[in-house]
Structure 1
Amino acid sequence: MGSVDTCCPVSKWCAISVVLAMVSVTTIVTLWTLTLTGTEARTPPWTSHRLPTTLKPLKYTVTLWPRLTPDPNGLYLFTGNSTVEFECVEETDLILIHSNRLNYTVPENRHLGVVNGVFAPGVRLSWLEGSTQYLVLQLYSKLVKGQRYRLYTAFTGELADDLAGFYRSEYLEDGVKKIVATSQMHPTHARKTFPCFDEPAMKAVFHITLIHPRGTTALSNGLETSGISEVDVTRTTFEPTEIMSSYLLALVVCDYSNLSAQQGDTLIRIWARRSAIEEGHGDYALSLTGPILDFFQEYYNITYPLSKSDQIALPDFYFGAMENWGLVMYRETNLLYDPLTSSNRNRETTATIIAHELAHMWFGNLVTLKWWNEVWLNEGFASYVSYLGADKAEPSWRVKDLIVLDDIHRVFAVDALASSHPLSSPEDSIVLPHQIGEQFDAISYSKRSLRFILLLKYHCLFCYQSYLNHFAHGNTVGTDLWEHLQKLNGVVLPGTVQDIMNRWVLQMGFPVVTVDTTTGIVSQEHFLLSPAPNLPSPYNYEWLIPIRWMKLSGLQKDLWWLMNKVNMDMKTAGDEWVLANIDVTGYYRVHYDRGNWEKLIGQLKADHQAIPLINRAQLVDDAFNLARAAIVPSTHALQTTVYLSAEREYIPWQSALDNMQYYYLMLDRTDVYGPMQDYMRSLVTPLYLHFNATSGWTNVPEGHTDKYNQVNALSLACSTGLKECQNLTTSLFRQWMDNATHNTIHPNLRLAVYCSAVAAGGAAEWEFGWEQFKYATLASDASRLLSALTCTMNKTLLERFLSYTLQPAMIRKQDATTVITSIASNREGQDLAWGFVRDNWNYIYTQYGVGSFNFAALISGVTTRFSTAEELQQLVEFKQKHSATGFGSAELALNQALERTQANILWLQQNKQDVLQWFTNQTLTH
């Protein structure tokens, strides 16, 4: 879609749009590029992507009217007007305010007034600066320092279906198409809705009015204060917001209903499609919200500051959820839960995402990052405490144990690349919208360098409470947090908090700690999957590392800090072994001398329960990644999986499956595939038989993670060719096909059954799944079907499915990336998906909005199994061919894909034969 800044969406408005006096603009530019000394010139402020600090917004009064029916040209539009009150901080005759894809009507509808004064200068010239997304107003005279002014504008925008700014979402209910006008302002899309100072530090109070069709509901951050019915519309006004950043503004016009409850002074409401509310799909979310809010109020020791907490499930939404203050938005599959058809995974997702978003009400909304170069200030802490909130709501799940899988192992995979990035980057290095978008990755959300300080519990909690109280309604940088953490009482640290944390925040990556039990020496070095010399670092890739460790006797040692290299009491004799990083509270990998590794692997085979549960997963993950980095042989890593035939716990099994996925990606198109399948089938068969005997396949175990491991047993047994399993899934799916209105497959097992049956079946199974997807009423079941359809081995069906991703009527834009990357993960679909992305990149990138495709995930997903020189060359050519079009937020992902592909080629050359021999030997011995 072309920029609406330069052409109005409706032709009759183009004639009265702002006429740019290009000669005058050129004159202004010339005046701003005055020579100062010699050849030095002053750059015009409107060419900078950062706002000047001359003006400070205080209050917005915004009225918006979204049209929920198309105009004669087939476009959905909104009209609006806005008055922003701001203070002049420094004298200036220039107003820069963000504006993107907005059209301004006649010049008289854009004027400047003064607050409590007698004079406001007139607007001499104005224009839209598309490259930096500004409305530029050049005044006849300067604004007065300390004086307040009001800028009024009237404008028109498109209510597009691009999932950004004020946008349109559609759904069918009772056969009728319904339109939702909703918003996603984060991180830089408020400017697409109304002219605003669209930076997180430019906080203000928002007074919102929405005009909407009678019979519909309007929602915003504040509680509705009045609704005045006019001829065909209702005018709804809302409480003014707390002082907040523009990216937190939320707007909705819909035909939804809600569930509500009162929690103290706070009204809690869950909003969704009427049918979803009537069927009870919002009940679970409502039951969680109050207890989680109470937990965070106690945890932060700050009362929730708003009168209501709305949460809404949207058919189309770019992120999984968004923490808008007072009106949190979710994808339907993340908020709605049906106890009859949703899975255990869906329930956990709902609990943890609600906890994550509510954690933001304080850490992120009340106290906000100053600039996007420190996204971790918002996201890292919220990600961690979301587990605490979910644990409070569902204590029997022991959800905190899952941090190692869901966060730590996930971020390790990215942070071990030379193309990784520090948690904090220089502020001036993150200025373009796509650079801002790149910051929202696994590193910012999941890097756990803070975890060991967070685990100091109440000593640390006081510091966080102090931090939040001190900076309430303001903005901070990382050093502000360190100053408050320095108030830790009774905790001995090896330096200031800032000195410790800067090493984790200002340099990328993480260390591998090497424990030599023959000498007792412990050392560290930067862990990289592939060698990359001369990487810059302000601390020479040295960290202050917290170490907790134990010996075979079970004796755990007190915490101590590794500075560089140290001689500790880690010598061993006989069968004694050492295990470091107990419960993975530290953000690092651990390597041992060969003798200690052999003892630990021997212990796993003899009595794996002597090693703590989380550390069993850690040993597997560390070994596989050390092997990928060529620190230990690949066959050594594979040895850590042998004991799994006796393991019944989910976390170690999932760690092994995550790591074996790399072997499948590298080897499933080679002659290693057969012996690897044989080995994995022999490994999983005891687990499959265990669940077959204890739970069967119509029931599920009691334990939260046991439910997950039952799914693993079924999925792996079927995918590796265990006939008993394949017969089971084919039979269950056939029963459903014979009686489509009666699905007897347990919700927990549906994805595994669907995928196995579709993979083993043909066109009939796929077509049945597609029909069920089209008419699925619950988003979580639709999501399972969508994923299962990518499992087919029929390339014609996969090509057809790929084509659907460019047709929003077939596959919602929010799901397009998932479908393409899932097809790429299918060994029959890899080449198809990559070819599809290459052939359609210009179209995808230029014609679809920012929310249509997650470009970073798209590039990562379709290149993840690249391991040949030919694929590397294709990737290089792809980058060259589309350099003019650009890659947006996928720029970093593309560089990481190039790095990964080179590493994969080398790994395959060095390891294929050894791995083939190992799998073959294992098959012979079994």
Structure 2
Amino acid sequence: MPKQLHISKAIAATFVVLTVSAIAGLVTMIIMYQSELSTMDPTAPPTIPSTTTAPPPVMRLPKNLIPESYEVVLWPRLYTQIIEVINVTSPNQTMLFTGNSTVNFHCVQKTSTIYLHSMELNVSDAKVKNRDNNQDIDVTSTYYHKDQSDFLVVELNTALMAEGNYSLFLSFHGEISDALEGLYVSSYIEEDDEGDPNAERFLAATNLEPTLARRVFPCFDEPEMKAVFHVTIIHRQNTIALGNAERYSTNTHDGWQYTRFNPTPRMSTYLFAFTVSEFESIPSAHERVKIKTFARPEAIKAGHASYAANITGKILTFYEKLFGIDYTQKKLDQIALPDLNPAAMENWGLITYQEGGLLYEEGVSSLLHKEVIATLIAHEIAHQWFGNLVTMKWWNEIWLNEGFATYMTYFAVDHVEPSFNVKDTFILSSLHEAFEEDALASSHPLNPPPQDIQTTFEIIQMFDSITYSKGAIVLRMLADVVEERVFNKGIRMYLRDFSFKNTDESNLWDYIQEAVTEDGGHTKVAKMMDTWTNQIGYPVITINTTNGEIYQKRFLFNDTSESSLWWEVPIRVMSNTTGTQLTWLRTPGPETMDKFLSKHGEWILANVNCTGYYRVNYNPENWDALLTQLETNPHRIPLMNRGQLVDDAFNLARAKLLNVALALNSTRFLRREKAYLPWESAVRNLEYFVLMFDRTEVYGPMQAYLREQVRELYGFFKNYTEHSQVPEDHSLQYNQILAIEVACSNGLPECVEMVQQMFAFWMKNNTNIIHPNLRSVIYCQAVAYGGKAEWEFAWKKYQSSSDISEKDQLRKALSCTKTIWLLNRYLEYTLDPEKIRLMDVASTINYISENVAGQALAWNFIRGHWEYVSQGDAATVIEGVTSRFSTQFELEELERFATDYALDSATRAVYQAIEQTQVNIEWVGENKDVILEWFESQSSS
């Protein structure tokens, strides 16, 4: 599952950053149909009483029972089309599902109690059988724990004996969710058989990661408790059921269709998946695996799934060759769902995506949107090995899934779309995402102790930038140290020996160590990586080039925090006279090394090509030499480092380790810079200044400076832009968008005139001449400089468009207006799923909060509607809405929020926001006058 995408940039072309950072199991069963009908009667199962008992000593299931296989029958009663009945005012839709399951398990320790998970299911008819002698075992009671464990407890009058084999049968029924959890309903509009173009259609889908399989059927819902699943789905005729495995057989009875699937591979419960829909598909080419991409029939017929289908087989083949292990199943389905809470989910054999992550419409979707699709597909297919085939033992090590999938995505996308040149951009995006969150004292280790991650909310909070981005970056750092070919050899051995099993990071280090040793290397892998995965944070390396002295300390925005942590730091270093060398800092320091001692006129550059997960600070003389190099001949410094020098300077200034004026000086070379990475880095970092000062007198001089800095870049693209064209080079396409964003948001007259004229032409002629690449930024700026008429036009187009990419661009643009009452009304629209889908609520609120006119509105709104808003990505909402907080009053409001509201999965995000607000208050107080003076001096000069 990819980290949920969100946009949180005010003046920058942030959606561009998100575009690149974008930065996510099968079965046979023989059952008599009449028997299934009788056991699944929805009126039969009584509700189990919720008996309160003493909770178990821990939240984890006991290990005395080991599941081996499940036989699951599920019967969603949902209609895909609502049949209107004369004189009936309400439709005859039903949200009920019924089912039964048999779990076969092995007993390893004598017990008279069965613990498993079940959540919001009415369970009945518990039957336990000794499979060794086919004898029934009496059940004395069945009850739920009233705590966060979701334990369903089955008490027996006869103990299960060690080494025995048993089974548990349960009937159950529950509600299909309308909140995108467990088994849920999704809807879309498509022409029906009667010719109605606005007919509503429904489908059922699952979203079970991390702990929602228990909402669909009772199960041992922990990743280490893998099993084989034999599944039958009963669904309405003329619909298609997809599951983790290939369909074994399909039959009909009394208007219902029975689809039985082949057995799944041995897998974790969170990968269980099925859908019931009227979707159609398009195949992908692969020599061995049947790959199909499913979507709405209208989208399939229009060819919107063609790009995804074209690259999926290529990505699968790339991974098979890289890992030396074939994809383990005969089929791979992927489906574009109108509603899904994550951007995508890697269910084994049935990958689910939000429509916008899988569909591409020629002439409407941005050319850059292909990168989003390729990135998501590459991430989810990587999970078929990292996560599905080999799974972490517990959720505290989810980085073994997500960090690897993120890291491998760099290579897969680069393979299938080499013209995108994505590696450098992906790497810096991941690096900066991780740096930002890991610079707070409220961060967490990549691999926290398992006892710290117990409840569902604690598990959900692990799906963050540390897990995804830091995980990928430390893997890249290790691969750089041991060499990529050696690293890949260790990975292949690791995947081979742990297929269908569970691991922890020590297993990974052992296999990479074996590859290193066989290659004659001397790196102590576990010793090195322990400091990066089991410790919180990351270091700043400080180098004094006048005496060669180097030392490290933990980097924190709140630099007053003391830390005794230190890391084994691999440092690639170069100068303007020498090539790259690798050296190590294995102590806190200070140490003195000749390679960090500069000669006359020489500068030193550490962390060449950003291979390490650390920041670098220098003595003032070396900083001056580097910045002079940037202004005179920047190409002497590697491209990634041109961006990273800017990022380090600004963040060191935020942490009060560097003069803020020096950080601002690092942007002066941009006046003549055309490359994307340095511009992206500068604009993203200046965004923090915007957030802190766009309500103060600093903002005017800052805008004046940015107008002048971007003028030449905007002019470079002007001919393209005014003729609604884009350059061929992929990175220049990004920079064109960034140039428009910075120029217009800072009031460059020719940019403002351009967006107004293009949008007005569309409004007057109902003909959209704006290039798809430029629509998002031009829509936003035109609405920002417009009024009610422009907003209403954009809203009308949003409502009428059937293209997901176009709708997303318009949804963002609607948040750009400076008219308060329009923003307030737009916030109210997020409460109506007919207007704004639940999965889009969090990002829509964040878009509004990015707007200085909407930030206070959004903060008040989420407090007034927290119960509804928090159903989505609550942590992302908190991060976005509080990003401008920099006053004591705002801090006190945030602290009250932390006390008065049920934070659940947003808990860590709220306390990180409190810490960040404290940092902001102190930083603004210390730097506002200096920053104002600097920008004023630039304007006057």
**Same fold, TM exceeding 0.5?**
yes
Q: Distance in 1 between matches of 2:520 and 2:426?
A: 26
How far apart, CA to CA, are the structure 1 residues paired with 2:174 and 2:276? 16
Deviations 1:773-794 (A, max 9, x none): 1122121111111111000001
Q: Does 1:615 align with 2:641?
A: yes
Mark the runs of 5 or more structure 1 residues left unpaired by the alignment.
Answer: 1-11, 30-43, 846-851
- Uncovered stretches (5+) of structure 2, i.e. residues with no partner: 1-40, 83-89, 192-197
In 2: Cα distance, 1:694 partner to 1:857 partner: 35
TM value normalised by structure 2: 0.91
State the one-letter code of the partner of 1:869. Q
CA contact (8 A) 2:45 2:122 kept: no
1:813 equivalent in structure 2: 838
CA gap of 1:418–1:14, structure 2 versus 1, over 3 A, is farther
Partner residue in 1 for 2:538: 510
3-state DSSP of counterpart to 2:596: coil
Corresponding position of 1:160: 177
Give, as a single letter, the amino acid of the residue that structure 2 aligns with 1:589: R
The AA in structure 2 aligned to 1:898 is: I
1:65 aligns with 2:99: no
Are positions 1:691 and 2:710 aligned together?
no
Q: Deviations over 1:857-899 (max 9, x none)?
A: 11111101100111001111111222xxx21111000110000
Tell me whether 72-81 or 392-401 shows the greater mean CA deviation: 72-81
Distance (whole Å) between structure 2 residues aligned to residue 318 and residue 918 of structure 1: 44
Following the alignment from structure 2 to structure 1, what is the Cα–Cα distance between the partners of residues 541 and 704? Answer: 35
Q: Deviations over 1:287-337 (max 9, x none)?
A: 111111111001100011110111111111111111111110111111111
**Does the alignment pair 1:122 with 2:151?**
no
2:46 aligns with: 17
| Structure 2 counterpart of 1:862 | 881
1:753 aligned to 2:778? yes
* 1:80 aligned residue (96, 99, 113): 99
- Listed one character per residue, the Cα deviations across residues 709-753 of structure 1 (whole Å, up to 9, x for unaligned) are 00011111111101111111111111111233x321101100110
Tell me if the contact between 1:695 and 1:701 (Cα under 8 Å) persists in the aligned partners.
no
- 1:848 maps to what in 2? none
Question: Is residue 435 of structure 2 the alignment partner of residue 412 of structure 1?
Answer: yes
How many angstroms apart in 2 are the aligned matches of 1:631 and 1:189? 45
| Count of residues in correspondence between the two structures | 878
Q: 2:704 aligns with which of 658, 678, 684?
A: 678
Corresponding residue to 1:288 among 311, 327, 345: 311
Aligned to 1:470: 497
Q: Which residue of 1 aligns with 2:926?
A: 910
Q: Is the 8 A contact 2:288 2:330 kept in 1?
A: yes
* Structure 2 Cα separation of the partners of residues 19 and 570 of structure 1: 70
Which residue does the alignment assign to 1:550?
574
Q: 2:399 aligns with which of 366, 376, 398?
A: 376
- The Cα shift of 1:394 comes to 0.6
Q: 1:51-83: CA deviations, max 9, x gaps?
A: 000111111111111122489897511111111
Q: 1:398 — aligned with what?
A: 421
Contact 2:190 2:201 in 1 (8 A): yes
Which among 119, 142, 147 is matched to residue 164 of structure 2?
A: 147
Equivalent residue for 2:13? none
Shift of 1:559: 4.6
Q: Distance in 2 between matches of 1:73 and 1:880?
A: 43
Bigger CA drift: 798-807 or 366-375?
798-807
Contact 1:511 1:543 (8 Å CA) reproduced: yes
Whether the 8 Å CA contact 1:404–1:614 is kept in 2: the answer is no
1:298 aligns with 2:324: no
Contact 1:688 1:713 in 2 (8 A): yes
Secondary structure, counterpart of 1:116 in structure 2: coil
Contact residue 583 and residue 612 of structure 1 kept, 8 A: yes
Q: Cα deviation per residue 1:338-383 (whole Å; 9 max; x = unaligned)?
A: 2211113311010111111111111111000000011111111110
Paired residue type of 2:368: R
Distance 1:206 1:509 in 2: 40
- Pairwise mapping of residues 527-542 of structure 1 onto structure 2 (< 5 A)? 527-531=555-559, 533=561, 540-542=564-566
Matching residue within 150, 160, 165 for 1:133: 150
CA deviations over 1:467-508 (Å, ceiling 9, x no partner): 111111000011111111111147677752111111001101
Distance 1:550 1:118 in 2: 73
TM-superposed deviation, 1:14: 8.8
- Residues 75 and 158 in structure 1, CA contact (< 8 A), matched pair in contact too: no
SS of 1:269's equivalent?
A: strand
**C-alpha deviation, 1:572, in angstroms:** 1.6
Q: Verify: 1:833 aligned to 2:843, yes or no.
A: no
Q: Distance in 2 between matches of 1:264 and 1:563?
A: 52
Residue in 2 aligned with 1:38?
Answer: none
1:656 to 672, 675, 682: 682
Structure-2 separation of matches of 1:148 and 1:126: 21
Partner of 1:897: 913
Matched, 1:190 2:245: no
The CA distance in 2 between the partners of 1:813 and 1:888, in whole Å, is 18
Matched, 1:423 2:446: yes
Aligned with residue 803 of structure 1, among 828, 837, 850: 828
Amino acid at match of 2:175: E
Deviation at 1:237, TM superposition (A): 1.0
- The 1:311–1:532 alpha-carbon spacing in structure 2 relative to 1, beyond 3 Å, is farther
TM-score using structure 1 length = 0.93
Residue 157 to residue 653, structure 1, CA distance change in 2 (3 Å): same
Shift of 1:405: 3.0
The 5-angstrom pairing of residues 271-670 of structure 1 reads 271-447=294-470, 448-455=473-480, 456-487=483-514, 488-489=516-517, 496-531=524-559, 533=561, 540-553=564-577, 555-565=579-589, 566-568=591-593, 569-670=595-696
2:789 is matched with: 764
Show CA shifts across 1:576-631 (max 9, x none).
10111010000000100000000000111111111110000000000000000001
Q: C-alpha offsets along residues 204-254 of structure 1, whole Å, 9 cap, x if unaligned? A: 001111111111111001011211022312111111110000000111001
Larger deviation: 114-123 or 145-154? 114-123
Of 682, 702, 705, which aligns to 2:731? Answer: 705
Q: Tell me, in whole angstroms, the C-alpha distance in 1 between the residues paired with 2:152 and 2:486.
A: 48
Distance (Å, rounded) in 1 between the aligned partners of 2:42 and 2:202: 24
- Counterpart check, 1:924 vs 2:930: no
Does the 8 Å contact 2:45/2:172 carry over to 1? no
**Once the 2 structures are TM-superposed, how far is the Cα of residue 534 of structure 1 from its aligned partner?**
5.2
The residue number in structure 1 matching 2:31 is none
2:755 paired with 1:729: yes
Task: Look up the equivalent residue of 2:166 and give its one-letter code.
Answer: Y
In 2, Cα distance between equivalents of 1:561 and 1:57: 47
Provide closer, same or farther for how the CA distance between residues 233 and 196 of structure 1 changes in structure 2, counting only shifts above 3 A: same
Distance (Å, rounded) in 2 between the aligned partners of 1:73 and 1:101: 23
In 2, the alpha carbon distance for the partners of 1:20 and 1:332 equals 41
Distance 1:490 1:512, change over 3 A: farther
Cα distance in 1, alignment partners of residues 398 and 551 from structure 2? 31
Partners of 2:293 and 2:868 in 1: how far apart? 37
Q: For 1:50 and 1:863, locate their aligned partners in 2 and report how far apart those are by CA, in whole Å.
A: 35
Shift of the 216–739 alpha-carbon distance from structure 1 to 2, 3 Å rule, reads: farther
Cα distance change on mapping 1:656 and 1:697 into 2, 3 Å: farther
The correspondence of residues 235-274 of structure 1 with structure 2, limited to 5 A, is: 235-274=258-297
Aligned partners of 2:69 and 2:285: how far apart in 1? 30
- Tell which deviates more after alignment, 551-560 or 660-669: 551-560
Secondary structure class of the residue paired with 1:783? helix
Q: Letter of the aligned partner of 1:690 in structure 2?
A: F
The equivalent position to 1:789 in structure 2, one of 808, 814, 823, is 814
Partner of 1:39: none
Amino acid aligned to 1:904? N
Aligned partners of 1:794, 1:259: CA distance in 2, in Å? 45
